[in-house]
Amino acid sequence: MTEKAPNPGGPGTAANDGPAGDPAASRPGGPLPGDGESIVVPPSILKQQAGWAKPGEGSRPAGGTKTDEAPQIFASSVRKGDTSEAGYDENPPGVGRLGVILGSVLAFLLVGSAITLYMVNKDGSSDAKPDAAKTAAPTPTADPVPPIKDSAKVLPTVTGDFGKKADIQVPSDAPDGSFVVKVLSEGSGPKVDKKSWTSVDYTAKNWNTGKDIPSSFDKDQKQQIFQAGSDALIPALDQAVLGKKAGSRVLVVAPPAAAFGSQGKPDMSIGPKDNLIFVIDIRNTNAPDAVVSGTVTPPPADFPQVKDNGKKPAEITPVAGAADPTELKTHVLIKGTGPAVEKGEKVVVQYTGALFKDGKVFDSSLGKGQAFSFPVGGGQVIQGWDQGLAGQTVGSRVELVIPAALAYADKPPSADIPPNSALVFVIDILDAGQG
């Protein structure tokens, strides 16, 4: 898509996108050093992070039409929990003695005010004001999403192969308002479960106008990656892939309630009554606790050694007496066969982090059973991650030996990481795309 053409998305999810939308994102090892909590990302990175809001909500924090005039807040990799990636609570301080005193004074004043109001109004005085809560206009609600069907009286005709832009012929008849999800060709991969990290390609058209909607096959665009069934995307994508197998091509006819609701999407010329057509190719899906597999190439003798523990945190054995590294080192333990990760892409990873000096594990997504997502090169993780993962292929397991200067330096996020510590990470790259 172009910069001004958002891709199918919505509010950030926790993951990825707080799950995967609070800018105070959780990160491997805990928050990065700094005073603020918001992540400011240059528009050059955000160009590939736009999203389509679901019905009843505004544009997602990183989505909608953008300009390059100012940086924006990116929040797609935020989790809903109040703990850091290392699991440390961020508790607010207590109110203190002064707070207790002020609270007591305020309570006394409120009680007095309540008694006064009762005495004034108890006789039914005509001067009494109406209750604003009772007279306020009702809050509008989004139309309910209709149940999914696998057929309708009239359907578009689709031609083309999986993995390539589909040719969609729009019928001359009007749609009947059904929310249709029909498998055109079934794949042989695993089924998409709720919360599975799923990547898709898509072609789209507006039934009412016959015009194309920007797709993942357009120039400079990439497959969409999201947690299925997390309500982060419009139902036409979020719900349509559930229960379908990776490798499948799926036709979706979405009435407004399953797309952008009664508000439409004016910046994409989608009206409030427009029905949309999607052809979705499900490229890949990974359970939240998935790990990569393949032939392992042991690290060199001067690297910490790694023992694979399946879906449990890896065991990392340090090199006895080794001096702390002064530059980033990488070793590919398992070489994936997927595409190379580019800067700006959202990746989904599993990781184990340990201290270089003694191999003590301080954090792991595997211990939580939940993969972690972030945009590579977006500054949401330590520099060693941003630099070490760019260019690696999807499906790879990578060992990163990171000097303190590219990690947390003298401002570690927790007591488990001493100041100026070199770190070791073992990272599985499960998938990558636009998110």
Q: Any idea which of 83-87, 244-248, 350-354, 358-362 has the lowest mean pLDDT? A: 83-87
| Owner of token pair 């499906």 | 395
> Domain locations in the chain?
96-124, 148-286, 305-433
Return the pLDDT at 28. 75
The DSSP H or E segment spanning 386 is helix 383-389
Return the pLDDT at 370. 95
For all residues of the chain together, what is the average pLDDT? 79
Common-topology check for domains 148-286 and 305-433: yes
Return the pLDDT at 103. 45
Q: Three-state DSSP class for 398?
A: strand
67, exposed or middle or buried, with CB in 10 Å at 0-12, 13-18, 19+?
Answer: exposed
Exposure on the CB side of residue 217, measured as CA atoms within 13 A: 17
Spatial distance between the Cα atoms of 87 and 26, rounded to a whole number of angstroms: 9
Task: Give ∠ CA 181-232-220 in degrees, rounded to 5.
Answer: 85
CB 179 within 8 Å of CB 255:
yes
At residue 96 the predicted structure's pLDDT band, cuts being 50, 70 and 90, is: very low
Q: Which of 37-46, 111-120, 223-232 tops mean pLDDT?
A: 223-232
Check whether 335 has a pLDDT greater than 70.
Answer: yes
CB 62 within 8 Å of CB 72:
yes
Rounded to an integer, the average pLDDT of 306-315 is 96
Spatial distance between the Cα atoms of 228 and 379, rounded to a whole number of angstroms: 26
CB 314 within 8 Å of CB 426:
yes
Of 317 and 7, which is predicted with more confidence?
317
Residues in the chain: 435
Return the pLDDT at 287. 97
Q: Could you write out the DSSP letters of every residue in 306-318? A: EE--TTSPPEEEP
Spatial distance between the Cα atoms of 435 and 20, rounded to a whole number of angstroms: 10
CATH classification (class only), 305-433: alpha beta
Spatial distance between the Cα atoms of 78 and 178, rounded to a whole number of angstroms: 34
Spatial distance between the Cα atoms of 236 and 204, rounded to a whole number of angstroms: 11
| Owner of token pair 């054995």 | 317
Rg (CA), the chain: 26
Tokens of 369: 């059973």
Return the pLDDT at 87. 36
Return the pLDDT at 146. 93
Check whether 318 has a pLDDT greater than 70.
Answer: yes
Return the pLDDT at 329. 98
**Dihedral pair phi/psi, residue 96, rounded to 5°:** 80, 175
Task: Give ∠ CA 44-49-55 in degrees, rounded to 5.
Answer: 140
Return the pLDDT at 435. 82
Q: Three-state DSSP class for 262?
A: helix
Rounded to an integer, the average pLDDT of 64-89 is 34
Return the pLDDT at 18. 39
Residue 40, CA distances (Å) to 70, 202, 225, 378, 390 in order:
10, 29, 22, 9, 20
Sign of the CA dihedral 152, 155, 161, 163?
negative
Amino acid at 209: T
Return the pLDDT at 199. 97
Task: For residue range 364-376, list pLDDT tens digits in order.
Answer: 999 999 999 999 9
Contacts for 62 with CB less than 8 Å, ≥ 6 apart: 12, 46, 49, 50, 51, 72, 73, 74, 75, 76
CATH code, residues 148-286:
3.10.50.40
Per DSSP (E only), the strands in 120-169 are: 148-149, 157-159, 167-169
Spatial distance between the Cα atoms of 375 and 77, rounded to a whole number of angstroms: 8
Check whether 237 has a pLDDT greater than 80.
Answer: yes
Of 180 and 100, which is predicted with more confidence?
180
Spatial distance between the Cα atoms of 105 and 111, rounded to a whole number of angstroms: 10
